[in-house]
Amino acid sequence: MLILPSESDSSTDLPIPPKKQGWLHRLYGKAIDMADTPKAFWIFCAMSFAESSFFPLPPDLLMIPMVLANRSLAWRLAIWGTITSVLGGFLGYAIGYYLYASLGSWIIDTYNMSAGFEKFHQEFAKWGFWIIALKGLTPVPFKLVTIASGVAHYDLVYFTAASVIARGIRFFYVAAFLWWCGPKAKYYIEKYLSWFFYALIGALVGGFFILNFIG
């Protein structure tokens, strides 16, 4: 059973996992080394912005090692992740509103989201605000939500409010979990890095599966 740490816990409470030399561990090591730098912060913000409109990878891939390297970054990243994700959502909304026939449909087709987009669009007229808020909390790609909102010409004020709720809860949940677990989260992630990486990829792929087959 995993015992969560208190404030007095330190990384010395657990043995240091043996260093490994695989590509994943080298990539993780580089992410940890650069985590507490201005460059990492701006890359994280860019990923959060782009993921809401066209980019496939979630910002968690950078947020997690950043918080593991410096736990005091958790709340700053949660705030800026929310802000930049909502701003990126406006770009997705604009793509759906003005450019769906060209760029928007290309993005949907590129990520094989056509079936899910149709299901989402049918539900949108009925559920509106709650579709945006709830879908934004799931592994379903948020870019689908923002583009579809633009296509539907959904009220921008309600779109903004729902996006802030959805993305705020998402980022603050991740930040709170990593901050609370602290050094022990770092220990177990480093010890089982491959499994953790595959779980993240599985969640990403699972979002597209849910989108196309469950709706």
Structure confidence by residue, pLDDT tens digits, 92-114 = 999 999 998 889 889 888 877 67
pLDDT digits (tens, 9 = 90+) for 7-62: 444 444 555 455 555 766 776 777 778 877 889 999 999 999 999 998 888 888 88
Residue 191: half-sphere exposure toward Cβ, Cα within 13 Å: 10
How would residue 5 be classed by pLDDT, with cut points 50, 70 and 90? very low
Task: Say which residue, 94 or 126, is predicted with more confidence.
Answer: 94
Percent of the chain past pLDDT 70, that is, above it, reads 73
**Of the candidates 69, 80, 75, 143, the residue with the CA atom closest to the CA atom of residue 112:** 143
**At residue 158, does pLDDT exceed 70?**
yes
The pLDDT of residue 185: 73
The CA distances from residue 34 to 39, 41, 65, 66, in Å, are 8, 9, 9, 8
**At residue 144, does pLDDT exceed 70?**
yes
The pLDDT of residue 169: 92
Residue 167's CB is within 10 A of a number of other CB atoms, namely 25
Arithmetic mean of pLDDT, 157-183: 90
Cβ 159 vs Cβ 52: under 8 Å: no
Element housing 182 (H / E): none
What is the pLDDT of the chain when averaged over all its residues? 78
The pLDDT of residue 136: 67
Q: Which of 50-59, 77-86, 181-190 has the lowest mean pLDDT?
A: 181-190
Residue 6's CB is within 10 A of a number of other CB atoms, namely 8
The pLDDT of residue 43: 93
The pLDDT of residue 93: 95
How would residue 116 be classed by pLDDT, with cut points 50, 70 and 90? low
Residue 112's CB is within 10 A of a number of other CB atoms, namely 11
* Contact partners, residue 131, CB within 8 Å, separation at least 6: 120, 123, 124, 145
CA torsion sign, 193 to 199 to 200 to 201? positive
Cβ 62 vs Cβ 44: under 8 Å: yes
